[in-house]
Structure 1
Amino acid sequence: MLTHTETTVIPAFPQASARVQSLLSQMTLEEKAAQIVGYWLDQGGEVVAPMQGEMSGSVPSGALADITRHGIGHFTRVYGTRPVDPAERAAWLWAEQRRLQSETRLGIPALVHEECLTGLAAWKAATFPTPLAWGASFDPALVEEMAVSIGDSMRELGIHQGLAPVLDVIRDPRWGRVDECIAEDPYVVGVLGTAYVKGLQDAGVHATLKHFVGYSGSRAGRNHAPVSAGPREVADVFLPPFEMAVVEGGVRSVMNSYAEIDGVPLGSSAEYLTALLRERWGFDGVVVADYFAVAFLEIMHRIAADRGEAAQAALTAGIDVELPTGDAYLEPLIERVKAGLFDEAYLDRAVLRVLGQKEDLGLLEPGAFADGPPADIDLDSPRHRDIARRLAEESIVLLSNDGVLPLAATASTIAVIGPNADRAEALMGCYSFANHVLAHHPEYPIGFEIPTVAQALTAELPGARVVGARGCEVEGDDRSGFAEAVEAARAADVAIVVVGDQAGLFGRGTVGEGNDSESLELPGVQRELVEELVATGTPVVMIALTGRPYAIGWAIDGENRPAAVMQAFFPGEEGAGALAGVIAGRVNPSGRLPVSLPRSAGAQPYSYLHPRLGGPSDVTATDPTPVRPFGFGLSYASFEYDLLAVDEEVSAGAAFGAVVRVTNTGSMAADHVVQLYGHDVTASVTRPEAQLLGFHRLALAAGESAEIAFTVPTQRFAFSDRSMVRIVEPGDVHVWAGADAATDVTRRATVRITGAAHTLTRADPRLVQAEVVRV
């Protein structure tokens, strides 16, 4: 139970301009509270947040003018909760912002936030590949370009803050939210996530890091389950991507995790939200609550007796804004302050941060809405589609190929089979508007062009006869379509079977928020369908169109396996065309696995970043070795590596060089992801057998060579020592270039790190630089 005596320390106040300080000094308690909450105009019946139905009674009712009479901090998802015409909604929003300026006492507009993980989550807006596909691309420059285009659309619609990116490191593929994550490697997550932050904020929209911290480490991959990670795993695995996005990316907002770590909910943790995030890392933006997370301190975590205590715990810890509504930060908080049970200084601290954010975004300027709203806006322009196409093409991973791909020009009849062969929804992730919201509104079209795999193959191969058969659904045990599918395969020169997931929320699908899985077998009877098609003797190409990696070793290495297997992680609106391009040979596959391909559900959780004790062993009957390792991906070209030079000695805290030469020995131009790995030979705590130090995507013509000069800060070998201080420890490290995390393609070179142990600071470099020289 929280008492007044537990909150007597006056919080440190953020820097604020004279204008912001003046506004705060004029505010009543009610006006202050109004600035640190959101209002969800369209909460309605579309369940897009956890326990939304149970929480619906907390939403204020009545006319909007009455609800916002003291002002309002945020408007929650103005465009993204139901299908609304963007231009019509923008006209409403501009009028509402002008009303707030003219009719509330202090005239402060609302900050508008939206989801934007795979593009702006609004009707008719472009849908890009899901973050797992960003990871498969290993292309931070393209991710940044995508984020700029998303931010431009948001800014034009009067949206100020995006609730993305997700920087949770994948620890267990059974977790439903894996499709929202980038990779199982913290460095890849940090580099690509920071690129997204920079792009969105360069467009004038504040990014929000999710979910701080440890959310993806829940027990058994279950959503909203406790996290049992030790402090070293938290410090060395979960935190580095967030630190990079704060220090290198200058992110302006952070969202707390629903999780509890060792019994302490993150929404009440001043240790993480204030001491670490602000005091150690220097974050000076705004912390927002994940939806209903403040109320969850009472009803889920049970560390507060009522909403007032929940508000006190969250505000004290450092959550500045309660979203999506003011369930705890309005009446319950106000009553607690008036009763003398909570210091108003904590409220003032949050209000100063919120007003500072609004000032940064230009919302406090008198002419903020003098210009009219957009009368016509294209949220799916040729620019959007070009970026979506390039990212989709770079993200497709070829897992196996016996030579059937690319398809020969003589393939005159192609059977396109499977539950995801002719469904547009199968190409998009959980946080796409189509699967997030339109699932509740089947009467509405998706709102933009998104060809299915079957349609894209028909367009890509105009000289071939394309026939289709569904075979089965994504879920369920109905095999009545098998016979038609088998007949179509027998009559074809090649059969392409498209299996996988349907993204959705809270049980409405096979992957996505709340759709955790006990099994990593393909859902339903899809495996049986593939096996029956293979048994026809017709060459079969299997496409796994999924939001998580599945245990498909039977399809890759089994005795009766498809001729080729491709992995596509929800590649978005241009994904079908990208897949068709790879099949036809127009696109040379260059994606790499951002997460290990699991052998079984029983081998989870697994990470390639395991110490020797976590690898294969003859003291256990189970085999954790993945079917395909992190970083794996085939190409239609072939490559030779040579590690030319590595600095033999470097001081702890300095950087060393490593030069790798790569030659495209194939007959086709190709992109290739050059991967540099390392291993700390002997350390004071156990270290991974291999860790990715750096990477670089490289385009090479047939026969062309290039040298990549990596500059590697020794901080890439940093870890938390036995005193939980992050250091670079002196000693020998091995460095090599690898085709993936399990394959050395060059000799291992030894670099000796010398001098005293180096303690990491905020000023330390975190990024590996790569310079390319053509030879």
Structure 2
Amino acid sequence: MDTDTPAEAAERAAGLVKQMTLAEKCAQLVGLWRDVDADAGDMAPHQSEQTGGLSEEEAMAHGLGQLTRPFGSAPVDPVEGAARLAAVQKQIRDTSRFGIAAQVHEECLTGLMTEGATIFPTPLALGATFDPDLVHAAAHQIGSSMRGLGVHQGLAPVLDVVADSRWGRTEETVGEDPYLTGAVGTAYVTGLQSAGIVATLKHFVAYSASLAGRNFGPVYMGPKQLAETYLTPFEMAVRIGRAGSVMNSYAANDGVPVAADADMFTGVLRDQWGFEGVVVSDYFAINFLNSLHHVAADRSAAAELALSAGIDVELPNADCYGDPLLQAVDSGRIGEDLVDRAAERVLTQKVRLGLLDEPPDPPTRIDLDPPEARALSAECARRSIVLLDNDGTLPLAGPENLALVGPVADDKAVMLGCYAFPNHHGRLDAAEMGVDIPTLRERLTADLPGARIEHAAGGSVLEATDAEIEAAVTAASGAELAVVAVGDRSGLFGRGTSGEGCDADSHALPGRQAELLDAVLATGTPTVVVVISGRPYALGDAADRAAAIVQAFLPGQEGARAVSEVLTGAVEPEGRLPVGVPARADSPPATYLGPELAQRSEVSTVDPTARFSFGHGLSYTEFQWGEPRLHSGAEVAPDGTVEVAVEVRNTGSRAGVEVVQLYLHDPIASTVRPVQRLVGFAKLRLAPGEAAEARFAMPADLAAFIGADGDWVVEAGTLELRLARSAGDIAGTVEVGVTDSRRLEPGTRRLETRATVG
């Protein structure tokens, strides 16, 4: 980034705005979707409606705000693409009286989304690592590859908190807990921005809380839940991570489309949290105010609503912020001061990015899948694999005759999320992947050289014939051990079983996979179940009959390697569930965060209890926990800090990792509270016989909630801190008294528990 201080950049931007014509200012508020050599193609529904009304030459006649996905929209050689991008940028600078280049953005949810770039595990898998430091390192690596191409902004991380894991975009989230989401998301922000890439938080806010888990669905909730659960991760990433950009949710919250909500973008984001960056629209979201939400009569009205709310840049094209905005300002319908406000924000960021300075020469050598990136992807995948259950069958002790069945056992695409380039573009043949992606069959064959492995797919993810299932059963019947690999194939808008626009009506495995699993288990052959998926799936009573269950959340190009290493014991399983696994396919949508009456009770016949709870995960060794101890005394002031610690010892014969989780329980409060919620976590890596202490310093602010009057408050009374292996496995508790009540001004809460290991 450029050397201008924030104040100098803002002053320089304000000076530019004063010299610009209205057309020049509006040009800075729009994007242009083109790859560096062709049209964008059909990426999403509704795109054909969004032409922007301008030719490319017209769109760049007065400069340009952003270039949309020049590397992510079609296959392109990186060196040639960087050279062509530099030429396009020269054209844009030459059309601007002030020599201003476009800000280039790309998707980077699972790594830079371009052909040939390293593909990392999905965010849900990164959540399963419970390892912000590793996530920071991965994001820095991703950002470095982007910056080398001439990219400036990444459309990640997703900070939506899962409310209903039937939602197709569950794979894009960190999980069902706001604290974990905020901690991992903030690490991604700081990692990306340390490489010079502007991180974009999405989707602000409550997109994941849509009715029935349907994409674009309406959201109905009160302001308390919105603030406490859904806004908290964004607040952490803005106030702690200093994120440079925010993207709106498509949803309407209680009837108000977020793209038109000034209370959110101006009141909360800027006035309360001090956000100083740029708000960009999700693709086509501004015109959706007219075409889908029907709160704007035309595109000019949509522009007025969005610009007034605080959306500074329209993506991906100049649709409403192009001619409709110009006409509305000329007619007096929209004040030019709103255009000036947005343009100053955009130009301030561009100054900081060096987009008004002489650009460097494009690189002549680019490796988008270097060894260090693959190593980081592999490490993220390893640490994300969750051992859900195990009767001692794992790790595999060199079986001589193994049956490997299931539709995801020998499919490269099943390792990837919907924002990985091959799956996003439907390039699912092995020859089209762009990077080397081993399958589970290939890795197990290499890692178990003494075993005879018979493979039978048993059909595809969505379809299977009786004959295909019978062939899998025959293979399992004659084997010493069966490994059944089931799960998802991610895609977009109905082209997958998980991913954007691929919502589910239940937590049943797609297609006939549950039938396949039952048939294999019925053979009596000891069976290890491997689930490779973008959401949790209920296995029903199959979970009782399986010898072991392993969960991988679309673990990326090195995912098969990671799963195989866990199965064979080459590495220790250390992942923990970022979302609970339902007990039954028809289990009601639920997360661990609910109050008492949202849990199992005698007043309802429906039991929402998860089969495997949030935070759950086993190891190949055993751990002994000591009694938790308070180091800060039995009382704390409402602006003080509670210090609690617990010692954990590895009593087994193998090295292992324990994740100590700190939950807060508030027994009596003035409004109904969740039974418990995560407020801290620490990972302990322990050799056999080794002990270590996990210490937590929790600010009393984390006990704050929205009171009945709508203000944040820490109330006097007793709090219970729970040291736990998971939300369903509490190892010990301590009580601490809060001496007084205290109201907190919005945007002043301390949001992090400091965790140390010693």
TM-score normalised by the shorter chain: which range applies?
Answer: over 0.9
The code of the aligned residue for 1:554 comes to D
Q: 1:645 Cα deviation (Å)?
A: 1.2
For 1:708 and 1:160, the matched residues in 2 are separated by 39
Q: Is the 8 A contact 2:59 2:318 kept in 1?
A: no
Are the structure 2 counterparts of residues 244 and 296 from structure 1 closer, same or farther at C-alpha, using a change threshold of 3 Å? same
- Provide the aligned C-alpha RMSD in A: 1.6
Q: Is the 8 A contact 1:474 1:523 kept in 2?
A: yes
Counterpart of 2:3? none
Residues 126-275 of structure 1 mapped to structure 2, 5 A cutoff: 126-275=118-267
For 2:700 and 2:17, the matched residues in 1 are separated by 46
Counterpart of 1:3? none
Counterpart of 1:702? 688
Counterpart of 1:734? 720
The code of the aligned residue for 1:739 comes to R
- Note if 1:404 corresponds to 2:396: no
Are the structure 2 counterparts of residues 505 and 272 from structure 1 closer, same or farther at C-alpha, using a change threshold of 3 Å? same
Q: 1:340 Cα deviation (Å)?
A: 1.4
**TM-score (structure 1 length as normaliser):** 0.94
For 1:460 and 1:442, the matched residues in 2 are separated by 24
Q: 1:291 Cα deviation (Å)?
A: 0.2
Q: Is the 8 A contact 2:165 2:535 kept in 1?
A: yes
For 1:640 and 1:758, the matched residues in 2 are separated by 40
Q: List runs of 5+ in structure 2 lacking aligned partners.
A: 1-5
Q: List runs of 5+ in structure 1 lacking aligned partners.
A: 1-12
Q: Is the 8 A contact 1:126 1:379 kept in 2?
A: yes
For 2:562 and 2:466, the matched residues in 1 are separated by 30
For 2:743 and 2:640, the matched residues in 1 are separated by 9
For 1:503 and 1:52, the matched residues in 2 are separated by 21
Counterpart of 1:20? 13
The code of the aligned residue for 1:397 comes to V
For 1:319 and 1:631, the matched residues in 2 are separated by 36
Q: Deviations over 1:446-496 (max 9, x none)?
A: 111110000011111112122211111101353331122122212222111
Q: 1:34 Cα deviation (Å)?
A: 0.8
The code of the aligned residue for 1:21 comes to A
Counterpart of 2:54? 60
Q: Is the 8 A contact 2:666 2:718 kept in 1?
A: yes
The code of the aligned residue for 1:34 comes to A
Counterpart of 1:540? 527
Counterpart of 2:416? 428
The code of the aligned residue for 2:47 comes to Q
Q: Which of 561, 564, 570 lines up with 2:554 in the alignment?
A: 570
Q: Which of 362, 365, 371 lines up with 1:373 in the alignment?
A: 362
For 2:49 and 2:551, the matched residues in 1 are separated by 38
The code of the aligned residue for 1:745 comes to A
For 2:42 and 2:548, the matched residues in 1 are separated by 39
Counterpart of 1:4? none
Q: 1:45 Cα deviation (Å)?
A: 6.9
For 1:441 and 1:324, the matched residues in 2 are separated by 26
Secondary structure of the 2:228 match is: helix
- Note if 1:759 corresponds to 2:744: yes
Q: Which of 583, 586, 604 lines up with 2:570 in the alignment?
A: 586
Counterpart of 1:714? 700
Q: Is the 8 A contact 1:143 1:192 kept in 2?
A: yes
Aligned length: 749
Q: Which of 373, 378, 384 lines up with 1:384 in the alignment?
A: 373
For 2:456 and 2:635, the matched residues in 1 are separated by 61
**TM-score (structure 2 length as normaliser):** 0.97
Are the structure 2 counterparts of residues 532 and 441 from structure 1 closer, same or farther at C-alpha, using a change threshold of 3 Å? closer
Are the structure 2 counterparts of residues 443 and 173 from structure 1 closer, same or farther at C-alpha, using a change threshold of 3 Å? closer
Q: Which of 246, 268, 272 lines up with 1:280 in the alignment?
A: 272
Identity %: 49
Which deviates more from structure 2 when the two are superposed, residues 138-147 or residues 711-720? 711-720
Q: Deviations over 1:10-45 (max 9, x none)?
A: xxx999644322321221111111110000014857
Q: 1:602 Cα deviation (Å)?
A: 4.3
For 1:764 and 1:691, the matched residues in 2 are separated by 17
Counterpart of 1:509? 496
The code of the aligned residue for 1:489 comes to A
The code of the aligned residue for 2:222 comes to G
Counterpart of 1:623? 607
Residues 449-488 of structure 1 mapped to structure 2, 5 A cutoff: 449-488=436-475
Counterpart of 1:41? 34
Are the structure 2 counterparts of residues 442 and 470 from structure 1 closer, same or farther at C-alpha, using a change threshold of 3 Å? closer
Q: Deviations over 1:28-71 (max 9, x none)?
A: 1111111100000148574333422333x43633xx44431111
The code of the aligned residue for 2:756 comes to E
Counterpart of 1:5? none
For 1:187 and 1:415, the matched residues in 2 are separated by 41
For 2:686 and 2:280, the matched residues in 1 are separated by 44
Counterpart of 1:518? 505
- Note if 1:419 corresponds to 2:407: yes
Q: 1:664 Cα deviation (Å)?
A: 0.8
The code of the aligned residue for 1:387 comes to L
Q: Which of 384, 398, 402 lines up with 1:395 in the alignment?
A: 384
For 2:496 and 2:254, the matched residues in 1 are separated by 31
Are the structure 2 counterparts of residues 44 and 94 from structure 1 closer, same or farther at C-alpha, using a change threshold of 3 Å? closer
Q: Is the 8 A contact 2:661 2:680 kept in 1?
A: yes
For 2:575 and 2:693, the matched residues in 1 are separated by 21
Residues 349-364 of structure 1 mapped to structure 2, 5 A cutoff: 349-364=341-356
- Note if 1:661 corresponds to 2:650: no
The code of the aligned residue for 2:372 comes to R
